[in-house]
Amino acid sequence: MIDPVFLDTPLYRCEALEPGLGCAVSIKLETANPVRSFKARGTELVASLLPDDGPRAVVCASAGNLGQALAWSGRGRGLDVTVVASRHATVAKLDRIRALGARLELVDGDHELARERAAAIARHDGIRLVEDSLDIETCEGAATIGLELVEDLADTVPPFDAVLIALGGGAMATGVGHVVKALAPGVEVICVQPLGAPAMTRSWRTRRVVTTDSADTIADGVAGRCPIPAVLDDLLLVADDAVLVQESSIIAGMRMLLDHAGLVVEPSAALGVAAILEDPDRFAGRHVVTIVCGSNVDVDAYHRWVGTAP
């Protein structure tokens, strides 16, 4: 059901990164596709599974990547797509959502307010609400990354023994985590979240939902404040660890991926490298896969972050 353009993404060792990180590093690259993030794996499922005899319309809240992916998947299937986003979302993401023909509604607030508004639209219009991380398609879509990783595990030398996954709402962490723990339980599943948006990590650590009053991070894709209880339950089953990283480490990770891997990535996609930078002893001598999950950035902000000026 998923367009092949989103599947079988590159997995490759990046030795140029390794002297700076002290371990073997492989990149699972989710940016070389029409929406530049992994999110379409899930929206392809959503759009494919929408009943033919019901409303051919969907709505979601999004920091930008889910909305872009849903717009792409919906356009190809004749769906009417509405995306609700924060007015402060990354401009490049909003532009792409519009360009893909979706209706974009902006709210004066953060992602949690966008979620409320999307739910209200769904109720009012009687259409499908796509809830990232809660709706199983969004997790199963991400889980296909895990299937690909496990399939390639035997071919990696040495075999990788940890996967670093950006943690936001939890779709990628629970999806990939479930597959990895089921099929390759020896591989450590490590979720990485910004210290400035730590709600899910704190929830995982205390085994109950912890919300925060604000989120303050450049990693817009993972800047939630209100973890979904059912997602936390799943995460407790599959994550071996959840760690928090500083903004400066995220930026250092973005810069390393630019300088040594030639990759422009959005902040969320640098969380894995940031985790290695903050705790090199933990990873020393190991082989770590980091999922580079998106590359949708505002170019000016990107240059500001990584220390280059347009």
Query: Interface residues with its own copies (CB under 8 A)?
Result: 4-5, 8-16, 27, 29, 31-34, 36, 96, 99-100, 155, 258-259, 262-264, 295-297, 299, 303, 307-310
Nearer to its own copies, 31 or 174 (CB): 31
CA-based nearest residue to 83, from 113, 109, 62: 62
Rounded to whole angstroms, the Cα distance separating 172 from 144 reads 10
| CB of residue 193 to its own copies, shortest distance in Å | 23
Q: Among candidates 141, 93, 133, which has minimal Cα distance to 298? A: 93
CA distance readout (Å), 15 to 21, 260, 268, 287 = 10, 9, 22, 11
Do residues 164 and 278 make contact, with C-beta atoms less than 8 angstroms apart? no
Cβ 195 to its own copies shortest distance, Å: 26
CB of 41 to its own copies, least distance (A): 14
* Nearest to its own copies of 32, 237 (CB atom): 32
Pairing of strands 11-13, 24-29: antiparallel
Whole-angstrom Cα distance, residue 58 to residue 121?
A: 10
Least distance in angstroms from the C-beta of 13 to its own copies = 5
Least distance between its own copies and beta carbon 5 (Å): 5
CB 16, CB 45: distance < 8 Å: no
Query: Do 130 and 58 meet the contact criterion of CB atoms below 8 Å apart?
Result: yes
Which residue lies nearer to its own copies by CB, 79 or 189?
79
CA angle 43, 270, 98 (to 5 degrees): 40
Q: Quick one: 72 or 283, whose CB is closer to its own copies?
A: 72
Which residue, 29 or 210, is less far from its own copies as judged by CB? Answer: 29
- To the nearest whole angstrom, how small is the minimum distance from the Cβ of residue 254 to its own copies? 12
Nearer to its own copies, 32 or 120 (CB): 32
